[in-house]
């Protein structure tokens, strides 16, 4: 197998940008080259002529000029069995779950259905330039099997978990503390570390787990301390009230997860919108990650994620960004960051486009502690890439005529871009989008 030299405008972040003029925070090569070896790893990066000079003679060249080459987008919170839930008309979270989401997830007991949706799931993510996602499967082991089997077929870095839930849902969607424990263990044994797959311990949220099941998740977390843990936290006021009623001994919603040892630097907490200062302190002290799901929070009407109050405090909380399909309304991380921007506008705290593109790539990789593998174009990283065209529609092309800087171009991509702006998506050096 020969090496590949991918040519185009390279953009990769070194750290979180502090302002629109913080050009030290990223690498930008106007005529850049990325050398990828047979294993899909980046072995040289920089000025095209320099990389070309050091490349083997038989290198295969792919020219993406004038388009941008970035690390593939990372989505840190999605629900694989909710592809047919998107665009469901509900007044609030609990109605949305009970009316549409839970009945739909019951269908994933059938492995044929789970396999069919898994194919669509990966197709859709690749179409939108997302190369890694952290997903909830359904309660059924069949859904996790379908999810990971498809990840392996496509050689994608994926995190997923069989949901654990043993109350407050239809019978077809319940396990028991023992079943949840045993089947999660079986999923770990079967899939964790295979290909690029990672298993997450996944209690859905405190409303759908009994204290006995929470103890079972604690046992798993102790036995497998390196695994991710994912759940939902403080998304909606009514949810918070009911949750605290179910766990009266806890100080607040966050304290429920703390009591069961579920917080830590591999814990991803979806939504985390309505937190007290005490809860933010606990998240900060434990290194837990609050996952911002802008399109979902707006679509379900849950609230405005307090990004700056979480990150700009004495004890900052780590954050990540995500689509939350199917509460979210778009698979696109560009659309997601457009909504995040609008939320920040309403809150009176700007979100600059460099920061947005950092968040979708390196920022989310850092939240997963995976930044040496994904989320950058650094040497040794896997070449999961997205190729972007900021003139992909007639309206964008027209606007591009008046754009002269990189931040302006990124802002246009974020404001008007979607899957049409994704020219190609690479997984470990292999072009995937145009083979769909």
* Binding interface with ligand GUN (CB under 6 A): 79, 93, 97, 101, 204-205, 232, 235, 296, 324, 327
29 - beta bridge partners? 10
Nearer to Zn ion, 64 or 204 (CB): 204
Nearer to ligand GUN, 13 or 299 (CB): 299
- Nearest approach, Cβ of 67 to Zn ion (angstroms)? 32
C-alpha separations of 121 from 133, 230, 268, 272 in Å: 10, 19, 21, 25
235 binds, among Zn ion, ligand GUN, none (CB under 5 to 8 A by kind): ligand GUN
Compute CA 279 distance to the chain's CA centroid, rounded to the nearest angstrom: 23
- Nearest approach, Cβ of 323 to ligand GUN (angstroms)? 11
Q: Which residues contribute to the site for Zn ion (CB under 5 A)? A: 270, 324
- Nearest approach, Cβ of 28 to ligand GUN (angstroms)? 36
Structural contact between residues 290 and 268, judged by C-beta atoms closer than 8 angstroms: no
Nearer to Zn ion, 270 or 363 (CB): 270
Structural contact between residues 153 and 221, judged by C-beta atoms closer than 8 angstroms: no
Please give the Cα distance from 116 to 121 (Å, whole number): 9
Nearer to ligand GUN, 205 or 411 (CB): 205
Structural contact between residues 71 and 361, judged by C-beta atoms closer than 8 angstroms: yes
Nearer to ligand GUN, 69 or 86 (CB): 86
- Nearest approach, Cβ of 298 to ligand GUN (angstroms)? 12
- Nearest approach, Cβ of 237 to Zn ion (angstroms)? 17
End-to-end CA gap in the chain: 23
- Nearest approach, Cβ of 113 to ligand GUN (angstroms)? 18
- Closest residue by beta carbon to ligand GUN: 327
Count of Cβ atoms closer than 10 Å to residue 4 Cβ: 21
Nearer to Zn ion, 70 or 93 (CB): 93
382 binds, among Zn ion, ligand GUN, none (CB under 5 to 8 A by kind): none
Count of Cβ atoms closer than 10 Å to residue 22 Cβ: 16
- Nearest approach, Cβ of 203 to ligand GUN (angstroms)? 10
Nearer to ligand GUN, 197 or 325 (CB): 325
**In 3-state terms, what secondary structure has residue 370?**
coil
Quote the crossing angle between the two packed helices 141-153 and 177-191, to the nearest 10°: 10
Please give the Cα distance from 390 to 69 (Å, whole number): 12
* Helical residues (DSSP H) of 247-363, grouped into ranges: 253-259, 277-286, 294-299, 307-311, 333-347, 353-358
- Nearest approach, Cβ of 88 to ligand GUN (angstroms)? 11
- Closest residue by beta carbon to Zn ion: 270
296 binds, among Zn ion, ligand GUN, none (CB under 5 to 8 A by kind): ligand GUN
Element (H, E) at 133: strand 130-136
191 binds, among Zn ion, ligand GUN, none (CB under 5 to 8 A by kind): none
How much of the chain is in helix, strand and coil states, percent to nearest 5?
45, 25, 35
Nearer to ligand GUN, 93 or 386 (CB): 93
329 binds, among ligand GUN, Zn ion, none (CB under 5 to 8 A by kind): none
């Amino acid at each position: 197998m020969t090496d590949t030299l991918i040519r185009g405008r390279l953009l990769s972040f070194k750290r979180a940008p502090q302002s629109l003029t913080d050009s030290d925070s990223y690498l930008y090569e106007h005529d850049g080259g990325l050398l990828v070896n047979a294993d899909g790893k980046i072995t040289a990066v920089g000025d095209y002529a320099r990389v070309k000079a050091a490349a083997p003679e038989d290198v295969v060249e792919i020219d993406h000029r004038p388009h941008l080459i970035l690390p593939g987008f990372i989505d840190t919170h999605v629900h694989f069995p909710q592809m047919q839930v998107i665009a469901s008309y509900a007044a609030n979270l609990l109605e949305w779950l009970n009316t549409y989401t839970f009945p739909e997830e019951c269908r994933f007991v059938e492995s044929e259905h789970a396999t069919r949706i898994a194919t669509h799931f990966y197709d859709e993510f690749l179409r939108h330039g997302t190369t890694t996602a952290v997903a909830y499967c359904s309660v059924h082991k069949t859904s996790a099997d379908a999810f990971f089997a498809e990840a392996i077929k496509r050689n994608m870095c994926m995190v997923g978990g069989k949901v654990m839930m043993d109350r407050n849902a239809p019978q077809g969607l319940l396990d028991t503390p023992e079943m949840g424990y045993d089947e999660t263990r079986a999923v770990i044994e079967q899939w964790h570390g295979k290909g690029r797959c990672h298993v997450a311990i996944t209690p859905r949220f405190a409303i759908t787990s009994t204290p006995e099941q929470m103890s079972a998740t604690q046992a798993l977390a102790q036995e497998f301390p390196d695994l991710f843990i994912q759940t939902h936290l403080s998304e909606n006021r009514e949810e918070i009230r009911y949750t605290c009623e179910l766990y009266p001994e806890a100080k607040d919603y966050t304290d429920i997860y703390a009591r069961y040892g579920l917080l830590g630097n591999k814990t991803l907490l979806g939504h985390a919108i309505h937190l007290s200062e005490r809860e933010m302190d606990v998240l900060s002290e434990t290194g837990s990650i609050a996952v911002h799901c802008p399109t979902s929070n707006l679509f379900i009407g849950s609230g405005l994620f307090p990004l700056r109050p979480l990150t700009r405090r004495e004890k900052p909380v780590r954050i990540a960004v995500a689509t939350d399909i199917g509460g979210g309304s778009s698979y696109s991380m560009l659309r997601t960051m457009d909504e995040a921007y609008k939320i920040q506008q309403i809150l009176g705290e700007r979100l600059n486009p460099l920061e947005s593109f950092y968040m979708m790539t390196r920022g989310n990789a850092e939240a997963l502690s995976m930044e040496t593998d994904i989320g950058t174009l650094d040497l040794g990283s896997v070449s999961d890439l997205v190729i972007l065209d900021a003139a992909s529609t007639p309206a964008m092309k027209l606007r591009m005529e008046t754009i002269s800087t990189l931040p302006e171009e990124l802002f246009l991509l974020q404001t008007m871009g979607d899957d049409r702006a994704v020219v190609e998506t690479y997984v470990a050096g292999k072009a995937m989008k145009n083979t769909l």
